[in-house]
Amino acid sequence: MVLASSSVGAVLVAVALAVAGCGDPSSSEGQTTRISRTPVDRAVPGGPVTRVLAVSIDGLRASAITQLGRAGTPTLHRLMAQGASTLNARTEREMTVTLPNHTGMVTGRRIAASQGGHGVSWNDDRRRPPTVQRAAGHDVSSVFRVVHDANRGTALFASKTKFSLFERSWDVGIDSYRMRFDNARLARMTQRDLLRHNRGFTFLHLSGPDDAGHARGWNSPAYLAAVRATDRRLGRIVRTINGHPRLKQHLALLVTADHGGSGKGHSDATRLVDFRVPFVVWGPTVARGAGLYALNPDYANPGHRRTTYADARQPVRNGDVANLALDLLGLGAVPGSEHDRAQDLDWN
Ligand SMILES: [Zn+2]
């Protein structure tokens, strides 16, 4: 059999990606450390990041990615092979439900208002308190407001109605808010928006896995099918980014989840399956195939532990989204925030 040299190259690249990708989280961290330290990967190509897209996959437990493997979640695997990631990030400590964790992602705060948190401890459409600020009892800023104040556009695409809390709380900071239950449609809207507008920060929430988990169980075929479908939606967005140099060269992508789940729920904040989530950083200047814990000795891989906010070395948290996004954009931290407040979570 004769292979054209380009085919051989493609095969070698595929093998290299397979080696760099994830399997067991701890072993992949080990493998990827070596890769991320090589000079060629240090000299990461790409201009300055001027745009960030944060994608939260509702109810995506980290083990679903390893369980489905590269065949079932090719996009997530590609992002991990080409970016910096961990499958052992943490949610907020207090609660493993949607609205409190997403509020943490956009404010960089813990939940408990009595300890400087954002105070959003409910997970429904209630209108009292009407805003995050009223829940906290004081002003609470967000990544939306900071980016908007830097004269960069922002957008929020959500697939649950309770996200209207964010629009009420940061009505000036969020330039465009769209809610659609239909995840496919919402992802397409986000794609179009990325092309039509030059926004500094875009947040996309996809509910598919959580919807299926509640209906059929977190380990059901329906749940795994929803994770696969979400990976395909993410794949179309990544292809859009790759197909447009102005996105490819200037947009960083963050992917995480609000919580995992087991059985038909996810509200037990003491359970590993609920509080362990993935966290992926991908884009220009991001180390290829790196483990976030290997890149960040100031942070500690918590193993199977549930962590506290008092730990000297914090885990990577989904609540790092706000300040990591701002750091990527060259903007300072969200005032009053806690997670990655020093903006010392490195991506290369
Ligand atoms: Zn849920």
Same domain, 123 and 91: yes
Output the domain CATH number for residue 162. Answer: 3.40.720.10
In a domain, 338, yes or no: no
- Residue 332 CA, ligand 1 centroid: distance in Å: 32
3-class SS at 211? helix
Same domain, 17 and 156: no
In a domain, 78, yes or no: yes
pLDDT value at residue 9: 39
In a domain, 278, yes or no: yes
Cα distances from 186 to residues 103, 132, 225, 243, in angstroms, run 20, 24, 18, 20
- Residue 211 CA, ligand 1 centroid: distance in Å: 7
In a domain, 334, yes or no: no
Instruction: Write out the residue range of the structural domain in which residue 160 sits.
Output: 38-328
In a domain, 348, yes or no: no
Q: How many CB atoms lie within 10 A of CB 116?
A: 16
- Residue 257 CA, ligand 1 centroid: distance in Å: 11
Residue 63 region by backbone torsions, left for phi larger than 0, else alpha for psi between -120 and 50, else beta: alpha
Same domain, 145 and 77: yes
Same domain, 141 and 254: yes
pLDDT value at residue 39: 35
Determine the Cα–Cα distance for residues 105 and 96; give it in Å rounded to an integer.
13
- Residue 101 CA, ligand 1 centroid: distance in Å: 11
Same domain, 15 and 146: no
In a domain, 62, yes or no: yes
CA dihedral 158, 160, 164, 170 (to 10 degrees): -40
- Residue 59 CA, ligand 1 centroid: distance in Å: 6
Asked if 301 and 279 touch (Cβ cutoff 8 Å), the reply is no
**H-helix or E-strand containing 17?**
helix 5-20
Same domain, 50 and 144: yes
pLDDT value at residue 88: 98
Q: For the chain, what is the mean pLDDT?
A: 90
Q: Which residues contact 259 (CB under 8 A, 6 or more apart)?
A: 59, 61, 91, 96, 97, 98, 101, 266, 274, 275, 277
- Residue 223 CA, ligand 1 centroid: distance in Å: 12
- Residue 260 CA, ligand 1 centroid: distance in Å: 9
- Residue 149 CA, ligand 1 centroid: distance in Å: 32
Same domain, 2 and 48: no
- Residue 160 CA, ligand 1 centroid: distance in Å: 10
| pTM of model > 0.85 | yes
- Residue 258 CA, ligand 1 centroid: distance in Å: 9
Tell which residue, 212, 315, 261, 235, has the closest CA to residue 98.
261
Interval 280-314: pLDDT, tens: 999 999 999 999 999 999 999 999 999 999 999 99
Same domain, 232 and 161: yes
- Residue 296 CA, ligand 1 centroid: distance in Å: 31
- Residue 322 CA, ligand 1 centroid: distance in Å: 22
- Residue 250 CA, ligand 1 centroid: distance in Å: 33
Determine the Cα–Cα distance for residues 298 and 81; give it in Å rounded to an integer.
23
Asked if 111 and 104 touch (Cβ cutoff 8 Å), the reply is yes
Question: Helix/strand/coil (H, E, C) string of 129-147?
Answer: CCCHHHHHCCCCCCHHHHH
Same domain, 28 and 171: no
Same domain, 126 and 86: yes
Residue 69 region by backbone torsions, left for phi larger than 0, else alpha for psi between -120 and 50, else beta: left
Same domain, 56 and 97: yes
Determine the Cα–Cα distance for residues 185 and 260; give it in Å rounded to an integer.
24
Interval 13-44: pLDDT, tens: 333 333 333 333 333 333 333 333 333 334 45
In a domain, 202, yes or no: yes
The tokens 């179009």 sit on which residue? 192
Same domain, 129 and 212: yes
Interval 312-323: pLDDT, tens: 999 999 999 999
Residue 121 has pLDDT above 60, yes or no: yes
Q: Does residue 129 have a cis peptide bond before it, meaning omega lies within 30 degrees of 0?
A: yes
Q: Indicate the residue type of 193.
A: D
Determine the Cα–Cα distance for residues 324 and 275; give it in Å rounded to an integer.
20
Long-range contacts of 270-276 (CB under 8 A, 24+ apart): 270/306, 271/96, 272/304, 272/306, 273/61, 273/63, 273/218, 274/61, 274/91, 274/96, 275/90, 275/91, 275/93, 275/96, 275/306, 276/61, 276/62, 276/63, 276/87, 276/88, 276/89, 276/90, 276/91
Q: What is the mean pLDDT of residues 188-214?
A: 98
- What's the number of domains the chain is made of? 2
